[in-house]
Structure 1
Amino acid sequence: MRFDTLRLDHIGIRVTDLAIAEAFYAKFGFLRDPDEFAPEAKACGLVHPAGLRIHLIYNGVPDREGNVLLDAPIKRPGFTHAAFIVESMDELVDWLAREGVEITEGPVMMGHGRRNVCFIRDPDMNVLEFNEILAG
């Protein structure tokens, strides 16, 4: 028997400070969904005009060592990043520079039909990837 998944609902991102994280993601168009704010669970849902959803789980403990899944010498299993498609990588790169958001890798061409990768990190060192899908 097969089970059909319809689509991805949201991505949960653990953060240390809700206000800082919410302000960061608001720069990308994610705004609080009042129906998905659960202080008892330390979770805050954000929604993007394109319909994308993320949940900020604000019970993280600051770690000066970086991202435990990516920066530690021992690579443990777990989600390493969220990836988003943008219309123009050039416009994204220019916008990130104006916003003072550091690009940690890329952009580079990769694969067929993708201009990949442009990686950044949020204030808690969570990794975000951006891709431009190229025509032809």
Structure 2
Amino acid sequence: MNFSHLSLDHVGIRVTDLAVSERFYAKFGFIRDPEEYAPAVKACGLHHPSGLRLHLIFNGVSDPAGNVLMDVPVKYSGYTHAAFIIESMVGLVAWLEQERITITEGPVHMGHDRRVVCFIRDPDGNVLEFNEILQ
């Protein structure tokens, strides 16, 4: 099997309230894909004009401890976040302030100053990372 042309199809994100999560991700340009809405299996596909796709798995239950992969002392295995490339960290930070979306970490330089990153949380505490790649 040759995996030289492997690409990412979508990221699945477990959420507790589909309507709340759809409104949140719509702020970033994601819209529901009617062909990817499957209420019988509690999944709703969103797509972005850039070609990115998310699947919201709407069978989540809130945990008082927060995100069990990120917010508890014991570090369980699992996916911890999705990371997106953006054009301007300054522009993103200004937009996040305007939208009243809290930055939970950053902006900070990472990767030997190869990129500037910041992190936010969606309404369910799922972590989203944004990267401005520096020249």
Q: Shorter chain as normaliser: what TM range?
A: over 0.9
Aligned to 1:64: 64
Tell me the TM-score normalized by structure 1: 0.95
**Where do 5+ consecutive residues of structure 1 fail to align?**
none
C-alpha distance in structure 2 between counterparts of 1:51 and 1:3, whole Å? 21
| Gapped regions of structure 2 (runs ≥ 5) | none
Separation in 2, partners of 1:30, 1:51:
10
- Aligned residue runs from structure 1 range 1-136, under 5 A: 2-112=2-112, 114-135=114-135
Shift of residue 3 of structure 1? Answer: 3.8
The alignment's TM-score, normalised by the length of structure 2, stands at 0.95
Pairwise CA distance, 1:134? 1.1
SS at match of 1:65: coil
Q: Displacement of 1:41 after TM fit?
A: 0.6
The 8 Å contact of residues 104 and 118 in structure 1, kept in 2 or not, is answered as yes
Q: Which amino acid aligns with 1:131?
A: N
The AA in structure 1 aligned to 2:15 is V
Identity within the alignment, %: 70
**Count, aligned residues:** 135
Does the 8 Å CA contact 1:9/1:53 hold for their aligned counterparts? yes
| CA-based RMSD | 1.2
Do 1:114 and 1:131's aligned partners in 2 also have CA atoms closer than 8 Å? Answer: no
